[in-house]
Protein backbone atom coordinates (compact mmCIF):
# COMPACT_ATOMS: atom_id res chain seq x y z
CA UNK A 1 0.00 0.00 0.00
CA UNK A 2 1.27 3.49 -0.82
CA UNK A 3 0.40 6.79 -2.40
CA UNK A 4 0.72 7.35 -6.11
CA UNK A 5 4.18 8.77 -5.42
CA UNK A 6 5.26 5.51 -3.79
CA UNK A 7 5.40 6.89 -0.22
CA UNK A 8 4.18 4.83 2.75
CA UNK A 9 1.66 6.59 4.99
CA UNK A 10 0.93 6.32 8.71
CA UNK A 11 -2.11 8.22 9.99
CA UNK A 12 -1.29 9.36 13.52
CA UNK A 13 -4.81 10.57 14.34
CA UNK A 14 -7.79 8.82 12.81
CA UNK A 15 -11.12 8.39 14.58
CA UNK A 16 -13.87 5.88 15.17
CA UNK A 17 -17.44 6.51 16.30
CA UNK A 18 -18.91 4.51 19.16
CA UNK A 19 -22.01 2.54 18.05
CA UNK A 20 -24.85 1.98 20.51
CA UNK A 21 -24.25 -1.75 20.39
CA UNK A 22 -20.83 -1.24 21.97
CA UNK A 23 -22.34 -0.59 25.41
CA UNK A 24 -24.80 -3.46 25.23
CA UNK A 25 -22.02 -5.88 24.34
CA UNK A 26 -19.11 -4.64 26.46
CA UNK A 27 -20.25 -2.48 29.39
CA UNK A 28 -20.22 -3.96 32.88
CA UNK A 29 -23.87 -4.98 33.54
CA UNK A 30 -23.87 -2.92 36.76
CA UNK A 31 -23.85 0.22 34.65
CA UNK A 32 -26.09 -0.77 31.77
CA UNK A 33 -28.88 1.57 32.88
CA UNK A 34 -26.41 4.48 32.82
CA UNK A 35 -24.70 3.58 29.56
CA UNK A 36 -23.96 6.28 26.97
CA UNK A 37 -26.86 6.58 24.54
CA UNK A 38 -27.09 8.21 21.15
CA UNK A 39 -30.34 10.21 21.24
CA UNK A 40 -31.99 13.12 19.45
CA UNK A 41 -32.41 16.51 21.06
CA UNK A 42 -35.45 18.79 20.82
CA UNK A 43 -34.35 19.85 17.30
CA UNK A 44 -33.91 16.27 16.13
CA UNK A 45 -30.10 16.33 16.01
CA UNK A 46 -28.03 13.51 17.44
CA UNK A 47 -26.37 13.93 20.84
CA UNK A 48 -25.01 11.62 23.47
CA UNK A 49 -26.94 11.19 26.69
CA UNK A 50 -24.28 10.52 29.27
CA UNK A 51 -25.15 10.04 32.93
CA UNK A 52 -28.12 12.36 32.73
CA UNK A 53 -26.48 15.03 30.57
CA UNK A 54 -26.96 15.73 26.88
CA UNK A 55 -23.58 16.29 25.23
CA UNK A 56 -22.35 18.16 23.37
CA UNK A 57 -24.73 21.11 23.53
CA UNK A 58 -26.28 21.82 20.14
CA UNK A 59 -27.46 25.34 20.90
CA UNK A 60 -26.54 28.15 23.23
CA UNK A 61 -23.23 28.81 24.94
CA UNK A 62 -20.51 26.55 23.63
CA UNK A 63 -22.81 25.00 21.02
CA UNK A 64 -21.07 22.17 19.20
CA UNK A 65 -21.74 20.68 15.73
CA UNK A 66 -25.32 21.95 15.37
CA UNK A 67 -25.94 19.37 12.61
CA UNK A 68 -25.56 16.54 15.14
CA UNK A 69 -22.65 14.66 16.67
CA UNK A 70 -23.11 11.52 14.58
CA UNK A 71 -23.55 13.50 11.37
CA UNK A 72 -20.38 15.50 12.07
CA UNK A 73 -18.19 12.71 13.43
CA UNK A 74 -19.16 9.69 11.33
CA UNK A 75 -19.36 10.80 7.73
CA UNK A 76 -18.14 7.41 6.49
CA UNK A 77 -19.24 3.89 7.41
CA UNK A 78 -15.65 3.17 8.41
CA UNK A 79 -16.28 5.11 11.60
CA UNK A 80 -17.70 1.94 13.16
CA UNK A 81 -17.12 -0.71 10.48
CA UNK A 82 -13.45 -1.69 10.21
CA UNK A 83 -13.88 -3.44 6.86
CA UNK A 84 -15.37 -0.28 5.35
CA UNK A 85 -12.52 1.70 6.87
CA UNK A 86 -9.91 -0.49 5.22
CA UNK A 87 -11.54 0.17 1.83
CA UNK A 88 -11.33 3.90 2.51
CA UNK A 89 -7.73 3.63 3.70
CA UNK A 90 -6.86 1.93 0.43
CA UNK A 91 -8.65 4.66 -1.51
CA UNK A 92 -6.72 7.38 0.31
CA UNK A 93 -3.39 5.55 0.38
CA UNK A 94 -3.07 5.05 4.15
CA UNK A 95 -1.12 2.00 5.27
CA UNK A 96 -1.62 2.23 9.06
CA UNK A 97 -4.04 4.29 11.18
CA UNK A 98 -3.88 5.07 14.91
CA UNK A 99 -7.45 5.38 16.16
CA UNK A 100 -9.09 7.65 18.73
CA UNK A 101 -12.74 7.81 19.74
CA UNK A 102 -15.47 10.45 19.83
CA UNK A 103 -17.56 10.55 23.02
CA UNK A 104 -14.97 8.35 24.74
CA UNK A 105 -12.45 11.21 24.58
CA UNK A 106 -14.59 12.97 27.19
CA UNK A 107 -15.05 10.16 29.70
CA UNK A 108 -12.43 11.77 31.96
CA UNK A 109 -15.02 14.47 32.73
CA UNK A 110 -17.61 12.10 34.26
CA UNK A 111 -18.26 12.74 37.94
CA UNK A 112 -18.62 9.06 38.83
CA UNK A 113 -15.19 7.42 38.72
CA UNK A 114 -16.57 3.88 38.65
CA UNK A 115 -18.80 4.71 35.70
CA UNK A 116 -15.87 6.31 33.90
CA UNK A 117 -13.71 3.23 34.44
CA UNK A 118 -16.47 0.95 33.17
CA UNK A 119 -17.12 3.08 30.08
CA UNK A 120 -13.41 3.31 29.25
CA UNK A 121 -12.93 -0.45 29.60
CA UNK A 122 -15.98 -1.16 27.43
CA UNK A 123 -14.84 1.22 24.72
CA UNK A 124 -11.29 -0.10 24.77
CA UNK A 125 -12.49 -3.70 24.50
CA UNK A 126 -14.70 -2.75 21.53
CA UNK A 127 -11.83 -0.87 19.85
CA UNK A 128 -9.57 -3.89 20.29
CA UNK A 129 -12.12 -5.97 18.37
CA UNK A 130 -12.35 -3.32 15.66
CA UNK A 131 -8.55 -3.31 15.26
CA UNK A 132 -8.38 -7.13 15.30
CA UNK A 133 -9.94 -7.18 11.81
CA UNK A 134 -6.57 -5.97 10.47
CA UNK A 135 -4.09 -5.70 13.37
CA UNK A 136 -1.20 -4.79 11.08
CA UNK A 137 -3.08 -1.72 9.84
CA UNK A 138 -5.51 -0.66 12.61
CA UNK A 139 -3.91 0.46 15.88
CA UNK A 140 -5.73 1.47 19.05
CA UNK A 141 -5.30 4.46 21.37
CA UNK A 142 -7.40 4.17 24.54
CA UNK A 143 -9.93 6.13 26.50
CA UNK A 144 -8.66 6.49 30.08
CA UNK A 145 -10.48 7.46 33.32
CA UNK A 146 -8.19 10.41 34.02
CA UNK A 147 -10.30 11.74 36.90
CA UNK A 148 -8.50 8.99 38.86
CA UNK A 149 -4.91 8.76 37.67
CA UNK A 150 -4.19 5.52 39.57
CA UNK A 151 -7.10 3.83 37.80
CA UNK A 152 -6.08 5.42 34.50
CA UNK A 153 -2.58 3.98 34.86
CA UNK A 154 -4.04 0.52 35.52
CA UNK A 155 -6.21 0.73 32.40
CA UNK A 156 -3.34 2.12 30.35
CA UNK A 157 -1.17 -0.84 31.29
CA UNK A 158 -3.99 -3.25 30.40
CA UNK A 159 -4.66 -1.82 26.95
CA UNK A 160 -0.99 -1.97 25.96
CA UNK A 161 -0.04 -5.32 27.48
CA UNK A 162 -3.31 -7.19 26.87
CA UNK A 163 -5.03 -5.43 23.96
CA UNK A 164 -2.00 -4.39 21.94
CA UNK A 165 -2.69 -0.65 21.83
CA UNK A 166 0.19 1.47 20.56
CA UNK A 167 -0.24 4.77 22.38
CA UNK A 168 -1.70 6.25 25.54
CA UNK A 169 -4.17 9.14 25.50
CA UNK A 170 -4.14 12.23 27.70
CA UNK A 171 -6.24 15.37 27.85
CA UNK A 172 -4.58 18.79 27.67
CA UNK A 173 -5.75 19.37 31.24
CA UNK A 174 -7.61 17.35 33.85
CA UNK A 175 -9.44 19.50 36.37
CA UNK A 176 -6.87 21.85 37.87
CA UNK A 177 -3.94 19.76 36.66
CA UNK A 178 -1.81 20.95 33.74
CA UNK A 179 0.35 18.47 31.80
CA UNK A 180 3.43 19.44 33.85
CA UNK A 181 1.63 18.67 37.13
CA UNK A 182 2.98 15.74 39.14
CA UNK A 183 -0.43 14.04 38.82
CA UNK A 184 0.45 13.22 35.19
CA UNK A 185 3.85 11.77 36.04
CA UNK A 186 2.83 8.15 36.71
CA UNK A 187 1.39 8.06 33.19
CA UNK A 188 4.59 9.45 31.72
CA UNK A 189 6.62 6.90 33.66
CA UNK A 190 4.37 4.10 32.40
CA UNK A 191 4.73 5.28 28.81
CA UNK A 192 8.51 5.12 29.20
CA UNK A 193 8.29 1.68 30.78
CA UNK A 194 6.02 0.27 28.06
CA UNK A 195 7.89 2.10 25.28
CA UNK A 196 4.77 3.75 23.85
CA UNK A 197 4.05 7.41 23.14
CA UNK A 198 1.46 9.67 24.71
CA UNK A 199 -1.05 11.37 22.43
CA UNK A 200 -2.46 14.67 23.66
CA UNK A 201 -5.78 15.15 21.93
CA UNK A 202 -7.48 18.53 21.93
CA UNK A 203 -9.82 18.75 24.91
CA UNK A 204 -9.65 19.63 28.59
CA UNK A 205 -9.01 23.36 29.04
CA UNK A 206 -12.04 24.36 26.89
CA UNK A 207 -10.35 27.68 26.09
CA UNK A 208 -12.87 30.24 24.79
CA UNK A 209 -15.75 27.79 25.25
CA UNK A 210 -17.80 30.21 27.36
CA UNK A 211 -17.18 33.14 25.03
CA UNK A 212 -19.29 31.85 22.13
CA UNK A 213 -23.05 31.46 21.79
CA UNK A 214 -24.33 29.56 18.75
CA UNK A 215 -21.04 30.18 16.94
CA UNK A 216 -19.52 26.74 16.52
CA UNK A 217 -17.24 27.57 13.56
CA UNK A 218 -15.32 30.30 15.39
CA UNK A 219 -15.22 28.31 18.60
CA UNK A 220 -13.83 25.29 16.76
CA UNK A 221 -11.23 27.42 14.97
CA UNK A 222 -9.86 28.62 18.31
CA UNK A 223 -10.44 25.86 20.83
CA UNK A 224 -8.43 23.01 19.33
CA UNK A 225 -5.18 24.94 18.69
CA UNK A 226 -5.52 26.79 22.00
CA UNK A 227 -5.71 23.45 23.83
CA UNK A 228 -2.73 21.97 21.99
CA UNK A 229 -0.59 25.11 22.28
CA UNK A 230 -1.30 25.03 26.01
CA UNK A 231 -0.17 21.41 26.19
CA UNK A 232 2.99 22.12 24.18
CA UNK A 233 3.95 25.09 26.34
CA UNK A 234 3.37 23.35 29.65
CA UNK A 235 5.06 20.10 28.61
CA UNK A 236 8.20 21.78 27.31
CA UNK A 237 8.35 24.83 29.59
CA UNK A 238 7.36 22.70 32.57
CA UNK A 239 10.36 20.41 32.14
CA UNK A 240 8.41 17.22 31.41
CA UNK A 241 10.84 16.15 28.68
CA UNK A 242 13.77 16.71 31.07
CA UNK A 243 12.25 14.59 33.81
CA UNK A 244 11.26 11.81 31.40
CA UNK A 245 14.07 11.52 28.86
CA UNK A 246 12.50 8.51 27.15
CA UNK A 247 9.04 10.02 26.75
CA UNK A 248 7.62 10.47 23.23
CA UNK A 249 4.65 12.81 22.65
CA UNK A 250 2.23 13.52 19.81
CA UNK A 251 0.14 16.71 19.81
CA UNK A 252 -3.01 16.02 17.81
CA UNK A 253 -5.74 17.68 15.72
CA UNK A 254 -4.78 21.34 15.77
CA UNK A 255 -2.70 21.78 12.63
CA UNK A 256 0.98 22.66 12.78
CA UNK A 257 1.61 26.14 11.39
CA UNK A 258 1.21 27.74 14.83
CA UNK A 259 4.27 25.80 16.02
CA UNK A 260 7.10 28.08 14.86
CA UNK A 261 5.44 31.12 16.46
CA UNK A 262 4.86 29.41 19.79
CA UNK A 263 8.35 27.96 20.09
CA UNK A 264 9.95 31.26 19.13
CA UNK A 265 7.93 32.94 21.87
CA UNK A 266 8.86 30.23 24.37
CA UNK A 267 12.53 30.66 23.47
CA UNK A 268 12.29 34.42 23.97
CA UNK A 269 10.88 34.04 27.46
CA UNK A 270 13.39 31.32 28.38
CA UNK A 271 16.22 33.63 27.32
CA UNK A 272 14.95 36.86 28.89
CA UNK A 273 13.65 35.36 32.14
CA UNK A 274 16.42 32.89 32.95
CA UNK A 275 15.75 30.23 35.54
CA UNK A 276 11.98 30.72 35.72
CA UNK A 277 10.95 27.95 33.32
CA UNK A 278 11.61 24.41 34.48
CA UNK A 279 13.21 23.27 31.22
CA UNK A 280 17.01 23.23 31.14
CA UNK A 281 17.45 24.20 27.48
CA UNK A 282 15.79 26.64 25.08
CA UNK A 283 12.35 25.19 24.36
CA UNK A 284 12.98 24.81 20.62
CA UNK A 285 15.94 22.54 21.42
CA UNK A 286 13.45 19.87 22.52
CA UNK A 287 12.22 19.59 18.95
CA UNK A 288 15.59 18.51 17.60
CA UNK A 289 15.62 15.00 19.09
CA UNK A 290 12.27 14.10 17.52
CA UNK A 291 10.49 13.08 20.72
CA UNK A 292 7.75 15.66 20.19
CA UNK A 293 5.67 15.72 17.00
CA UNK A 294 2.76 17.92 15.95
CA UNK A 295 0.23 16.49 13.53
CA UNK A 296 -0.69 18.20 10.30
CA UNK A 297 -3.35 17.75 7.69
CA UNK A 298 -3.26 19.17 4.16
CA UNK A 299 -2.38 22.71 5.31
CA UNK A 300 -1.52 25.63 3.07
CA UNK A 301 1.35 26.72 5.32
CA UNK A 302 2.85 23.31 5.88
CA UNK A 303 6.25 24.38 4.45
CA UNK A 304 6.38 27.12 7.10
CA UNK A 305 5.77 24.53 9.85
CA UNK A 306 8.45 22.22 8.49
CA UNK A 307 10.98 25.05 8.27
CA UNK A 308 10.22 26.48 11.70
CA UNK A 309 9.82 23.23 13.64
CA UNK A 310 12.16 20.96 11.75
CA UNK A 311 11.18 18.14 9.42
CA UNK A 312 11.40 15.65 12.31
CA UNK A 313 8.60 17.37 14.25
CA UNK A 314 5.59 17.19 11.92
CA UNK A 315 3.50 14.06 11.21
CA UNK A 316 0.47 13.42 9.02
CA UNK A 317 -3.04 12.84 10.39
CA UNK A 318 -6.25 12.27 8.46
CA UNK A 319 -8.91 13.16 11.07
CA UNK A 320 -11.09 10.65 9.16
CA UNK A 321 -14.13 10.45 9.25
CA UNK A 322 -14.96 13.89 10.69
CA UNK A 323 -16.75 16.72 8.88
CA UNK A 324 -13.51 18.63 8.34
CA UNK A 325 -11.33 15.78 7.08
CA UNK A 326 -10.08 15.85 3.51
CA UNK A 327 -11.02 12.27 2.60
CA UNK A 328 -10.13 10.94 0.11
CA UNK A 329 -7.64 13.65 -0.84
CA UNK A 330 -5.58 14.43 2.27
CA UNK A 331 -2.60 12.22 1.42
CA UNK A 332 -2.57 13.29 -2.22
CA UNK A 333 -2.69 16.97 -1.24
CA UNK A 334 0.62 16.46 0.55
CA UNK A 335 2.26 13.93 -1.76
CA UNK A 336 1.58 15.98 -4.91
CA UNK A 337 2.96 19.28 -3.60
CA UNK A 338 5.95 20.81 -5.30
CA UNK A 339 6.92 23.10 -2.42
CA UNK A 340 7.97 20.24 -0.09
CA UNK A 341 11.02 18.08 -0.73
CA UNK A 342 10.47 14.37 -1.28
CA UNK A 343 12.55 13.49 1.79
CA UNK A 344 10.39 15.82 3.89
CA UNK A 345 7.21 14.23 2.53
CA UNK A 346 8.51 10.80 3.48
CA UNK A 347 9.27 11.99 7.02
CA UNK A 348 5.92 13.63 7.68
CA UNK A 349 3.79 10.98 5.95
CA UNK A 350 5.32 8.00 7.76
CA UNK A 351 8.87 8.33 9.10
CA UNK A 352 8.11 10.58 12.05
CA UNK A 353 5.04 8.57 13.07
CA UNK A 354 7.07 5.36 12.96
CA UNK A 355 9.70 6.88 15.22
CA UNK A 356 7.13 8.19 17.72
CA UNK A 357 5.14 4.94 17.79
CA UNK A 358 8.25 2.81 18.16
CA UNK A 359 7.92 -0.95 18.54
CA UNK A 360 4.12 -0.89 18.73
CA UNK A 361 3.82 -0.08 15.06
CA UNK A 362 5.26 -3.45 14.08
CA UNK A 363 3.22 -5.42 16.61
Question: What pLDDT, on the 0 to 100 scale, is given for residue 302?
Answer: 97
Question: What pLDDT, on the 0 to 100 scale, is given for residue 5?
Answer: 56
Determine whether 303 is exposed, middle or buried from the number of CB atoms within 10 Å of its CB (0-12, 13-18, 19+): middle
Interval 340-358 mean pLDDT = 97
Q: At residue 162, does pLDDT exceed 90?
A: yes
Q: At residue 159, does pLDDT exceed 90?
A: yes
Reported as a single tens digit per residue, the pLDDT across 62-105 is: 999 999 999 999 999 999 999 999 999 999 999 999 999 999 99
Question: What pLDDT, on the 0 to 100 scale, is given for residue 1?
Answer: 44
Reported as a single tens digit per residue, the pLDDT across 214-224 is: 999 999 999 99
What's the whole-number average pLDDT of the chain? 95
Reported as a single tens digit per residue, the pLDDT across 199-214 is: 999 888 989 889 999 9
Q: At residue 4, does pLDDT exceed 70?
A: no
Q: At residue 198, does pLDDT exceed 70?
A: yes
Share of the chain above pLDDT 90, in %: 93
Asked if 316 and 351 count as a contact pair (C-beta separation under 8 A), the reply is no
Listing DSSP states for 109-134 in one string gives G-S-HHHHHHHHHHHHHHHHHHHTTS
Question: What pLDDT, on the 0 to 100 scale, is given for residue 81?
Answer: 98
Cα–Cα distance for residue pair 293/328, rounded to 1 Å: 24
Q: At residue 114, does pLDDT exceed 80?
A: yes
16's CB contacts (< 8 A; 6+ apart) are 79, 80, 99, 100, 101, 102, 127, 130
pLDDT band at 361 (very low <50, low <70, confident <90, very high): confident
CA distances from 318 to 119, 123, 128, 255, 303 (A): 26, 21, 20, 11, 18
Reported as a single tens digit per residue, the pLDDT across 8-42 is: 999 999 999 999 999 999 999 999 999 999 999 99
Reported as a single tens digit per residue, the pLDDT across 239-255 is: 999 999 999 999 999 99
Asked if 230 and 205 count as a contact pair (C-beta separation under 8 A), the reply is yes
Q: Which domains does the chain have, with CATH numbers?
A: 10-362 (3.20.20.140)
Amino acid sequence: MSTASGLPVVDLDGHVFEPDSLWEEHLDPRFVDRRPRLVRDERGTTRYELDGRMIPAGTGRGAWVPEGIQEASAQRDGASDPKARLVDMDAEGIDVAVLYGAVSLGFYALDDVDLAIACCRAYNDWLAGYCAVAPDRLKGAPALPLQSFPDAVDEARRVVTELGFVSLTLSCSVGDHNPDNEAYEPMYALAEELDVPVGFHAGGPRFAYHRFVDDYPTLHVLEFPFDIMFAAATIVGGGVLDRFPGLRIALLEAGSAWGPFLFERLDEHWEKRPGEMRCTRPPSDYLADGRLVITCEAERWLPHALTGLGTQSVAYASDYPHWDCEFPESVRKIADRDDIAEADKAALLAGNARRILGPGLAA
